[in-house]
Structures are given as C-alpha cells and as structure tokens.
C-alpha cells in the first residue's frame, strides 16, 4: 500500500508541476512573453515525475494476497 501511495503522490506532483509550468503565461505567472527555459525545465521535471510515478505503480504480480481467505 505504501508503494501505491508513493507512486500516486509522485505522479500527482508531476501533473501539478507540469501543468503550472506549461500554463504559466496563461494564468499570469510568466515573467516574460513566450516559452522560456524555466518553463521548459519545469515542464520536463513534471513529466519526469509523472513517468517515475507510473513506473513505481505496483503491478498485479506485485500485489500480496496474504489477507485473502479462501471460501
């Protein structure tokens, strides 16, 4: 469960980071017109966090079935 929570938090942080940097000019956070190197760096970092979160998501084979009792 901890691995799933970690993956979810990392992916969500990446989504928020990528969105905020990609939409910085539209929401009034951009310092200068155009797409600057800070926006590229922030958006790339956000996308990287999304990929890490997806890669860290537990696969079906990793799920433990210790708590499941046969009927």
pLDDT tens-digit profile of 10-61? 999 999 999 999 988 888 777 777 788 888 999 999 999 999 999 998 875 5
Residue 70 lies in a domain: no
Please name which of 24, 44, 49 lies closest in space to residue 35, comparing C-alpha atoms: 24
Query: What domain range is 49 assigned to?
Result: 2-60
Residue 71 lies in a domain: no
Residue 10 lies in a domain: yes
Residue 43 lies in a domain: yes
Residue 12 lies in a domain: yes
Give CA separation, 37 vs 3, 9, 26, 41, 57, in Å: 33, 26, 16, 6, 30
Q: How confident is the model at residue 69 (pLDDT cuts 50, 70, 90)?
A: low
Please tell me whether residue 53 adopts helix, strand or coil conformation: helix
Query: Total structural domains in the chain?
Result: 1
């Amino acid at each position: 469960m901890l691995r799933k929570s970690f993956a979810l938090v990392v992916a969500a942080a990446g989504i928020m980071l990528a969105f905020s940097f990609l939409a910085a000019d539209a929401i009034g956070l951009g310092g200068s017109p155009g797409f600057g190197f800070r926006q590229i760096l922030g958006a790339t970092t956000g996308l990287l966090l999304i990929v890490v979160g997806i890669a860290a998501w537990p696969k079906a084979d990793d799920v433990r079935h210790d708590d499941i009792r046969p009927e």
